[in-house]
Amino acid sequence: MRTEQVDVAVVGGGPAGLAAALSAKESGAEHVLLIERGERMGGILNQCIHDGFGTKLMGEAFTGPEYAQIFINRLTNTGVNVKLDTMVMDISSDRELVICSSDGLIRVKAGAIVLCTGCRERTRGAIRIPGTRPAGVFTAGVVQEYMNIRNLSVGRKVVILGSGDIGLIMARRLTLEGVEVECVAEILPYPSGLARNIVQCLEDFEIPLYLSTTVVDIHGIDRVEGITLAKIGPRGGIVRGTKRFVKCDTLLLSVGLIPENELAKKAGIKLSPVTAGPIVDDHFQTSIPGIFCGGNALQVHDLVDYASMESEKAGRSAAFFAGAGKLPSPSIKVLPGQGIRYVIPHEVSGNEPVDFSMRVKSPEADRYIVFKQGEKVIRRMRQIELAPAAMIRMRVRSDRFQRSLDSLTVEVAD
Amino acid sequence: MNEGNIVCTVCPTSCLIDAKWDEKELISIDRAQCKLAWGYISDEIFDPKRVVTTTVPTETGKNPLVSVKTAEPVPKHLVLDIMDTLAVVQAKGLVNAGDVIVADVLGTGVNIIATSNSD
């Protein structure tokens, strides 16, 4: 097997990988290799033809393909080596990759690696919907690819389960293409998608959203002929007498995303049971020195802007590691407190300012996000609206950290 | 005077705005986290606008479709009419992002432009 030596290898050519490769190069890494298994860069953005990308990072709303193109253009002529149609077969804890393409197998020895492998959609099997197994049950992202890239139609009458952002976006997209969207059902008592998508994708087209409602049966042998909806009570059971049949030929699932970390597992990287992504420090370094992670492989984002920003930092850290062989080690553990589902990074050194990202467990109004070390509040910010669907980002300045203490707690408080 | 809650969709923060307006104009807004909300809420009450994004088939490209959008937000009541107009449009030749696919769609003064490349 041929062997190549690089300073930084980035796995995945989506928005996270593009940002990581660019910043690694700009931070002085000489040989940067970007590996993408698909035939083009840009990842999932290529099928996200709606607009609204980039408002946080560039102050302007772009469509997905436009946002991706900005990064692809910036990457051109930087000397970053891009390998498309190339799959990473293996990865080891001493930063060796085996990659496969039409050139055959190549061993890549990397000074540092950034994993930007994105995420996968939860499927019917993952949420165990009973019923028959006809054609016509799709995940939202697959329908998005069929419609927006391949010019394929999926059905005439659709029910959407789950109010995640992609499901809402597809409700509008299907409606615009003349497909009848019967309703969106959401098992939780509140929407899983961003408020602006509820407004622009459902309310604009008078598509009903049924909360605390789910699909309890799928009917049809060859093709979906309908589904049964039912109300779900506070303890998670079906509310008696609320079952009703809805005729449709397609069921679209928008029931969550799972970070894709098969490679991380192979390398022996520690994953968080909450996010399903690696445990990282404030340099986005995983439990294995020299292997970094950013984007949806680390945590599922609602905005690509933050996936880019995070991975930019991961790429910069990787370039630094490839040069110096190490990074300052983290000494402060970050713990989610009252009302917080998770906080990233999981540990920090306290020597540099840190942009934390977090999600709350349930919707709240007019509360504070409080960072505490011992009894001392080191940062607090008022939040008018808190929702699990909206990731919260907060920066803590380096002089606020108390480096003598070994932990920091983030909580929702009055 | 009218009062209501309107979600501002200028950015993903999605502020829930308390708005007051009369027949002619917006009178006050509350709970906005930035100054862009005023213009959006005023439009949303008197002349709601949306950016339409969709696809059109290509003639020759490697990709069967290119994505397109209205270069500016257009009146919301025209969204479905614009979709009807685009239903019969095919992009000619090689298309690059930014190319005008339909000029001045439905007399709005707004162009439909490509947002991706055909190859």
Instruction: Compute the distance between CA of residue A149 and CA of residue A44 in angstroms, rounded to an integer.
Output: 11
Q: How do residues A133-176 score in pLDDT, each as one tens digit?
A: 999 999 999 999 999 999 999 999 999 999 999 999 999 999 99
Instruction: Give the pLDDT band (50/70/90) at residue A384.
Output: confident
Cβ contact, residue pair B12, A52, below 8 Å: yes
Residue A366: alpha-carbon gap to chain centroid: 26
Torsion (CA) A153, A159, A161, A166 in degrees, nearest 10: 40
CATH superfamily of A1-121+257-327: FAD/NAD(P)-binding domain (3.50.50.60)
Residues in chain A with CB shorter than 8 Å from the CB of B72 are none
Instruction: Compute the distance between CA of residue A281 and CA of residue A108 in angstroms, rounded to an integer.
Output: 25
Q: What is the structure's pLDDT at B85?
A: 97
Q: How do residues B65-118 score in pLDDT, each as one tens digit?
A: 999 999 999 999 999 999 999 999 999 999 999 999 999 999 999 999 999 999
Q: Which of A85, A45, A81 is CA-nearest to residue A65?
A: A45
Instruction: Compute the distance between CA of residue B60 and CA of residue B26 in angstroms, rounded to an integer.
Output: 49
Averaged pLDDT of chain A:
96
Strand, coil or helix: A298: coil
Instruction: Compute the distance between CA of residue B35 and CA of residue A316 in angstroms, rounded to an integer.
Output: 34
Tell me how close the Cα of B14 comes to any Cα of chain A, in angstroms: 6
Residue B95: enclosing H or E segment and its boundaries? Answer: none
Q: Hey, what CATH topology would domain B53-114 get?
A: CPE0013-like fold (3.10.530)
Residues in chain A with CB shorter than 8 Å from the CB of B65 are 148-151
Q: What is the mean pLDDT of residues A203-224?
A: 97
Q: What is the mean pLDDT of residues A212-241?
A: 96
Nearest to A199 among B7, B52, B116 (CB): B7
CATH hierarchy code of domain A329-414: 2.60.40
Tokens of A279: 């445990």
Instruction: Give the pLDDT band (50/70/90) at residue B9.
Output: confident
Q: How do residues A293-333 score in pLDDT, each as one tens digit?
A: 999 999 999 999 999 999 999 999 999 999 998 899 999 99
**Chain A residue closest to B98 (CA)?**
A66
Q: What is the structure's pLDDT at A121?
A: 96
CATH hierarchy code of domain A123-255: 3.50.50.60
Cα dist from A255 to A122, A124, A195, A408, whole Å: 6, 9, 17, 32
Q: How do residues A18-64 score in pLDDT, each as one tens digit?
A: 999 999 999 999 999 999 999 999 999 999 999 999 998 998 899 99
Instruction: Compute the distance between CA of residue B116 and CA of residue A48 in angstroms, rounded to an integer.
Output: 11
Residues in chain B with CB shorter than 8 Å from the CB of A84 are none
Instruction: Compute the distance between CA of residue A167 and CA of residue A130 in angstroms, rounded to an integer.
Output: 21
Residue B21: enclosing H or E segment and its boundaries? Answer: strand B16-21
Domain edges within chain B: 2-47, 53-114
What is the residue type of A358? Answer: M
Is A171:A185 a contact under the CB 8 Å cutoff?
no
Where, residue-wise, is CATH 3.50.50.60 in chain A?
Answer: 1-121+257-327, 123-255
Q: What percent of chain A has pLDDT over 70?
A: 100
pLDDT higher than 90, residue A400: yes
Query: Per-residue DSSP letters for A325-390?
Result: S--PPP-EEEEE-TTEEEEESSEE-SSS-EEEEEEESS-EEEEEEEEEETTEEEEEEEEEEE-TTS
Tell me how close the Cα of A148 comes to any Cα of chain B, in angstroms: 7
Q: What is the structure's pLDDT at A301?
A: 95
Residue with tokens 């990842």: A43
Q: How do residues A173-189 score in pLDDT, each as one tens digit?
A: 999 999 999 999 999 99
**Chain A residue closest to B83 (CA)?**
A176
Rg (CA), chain A: 22
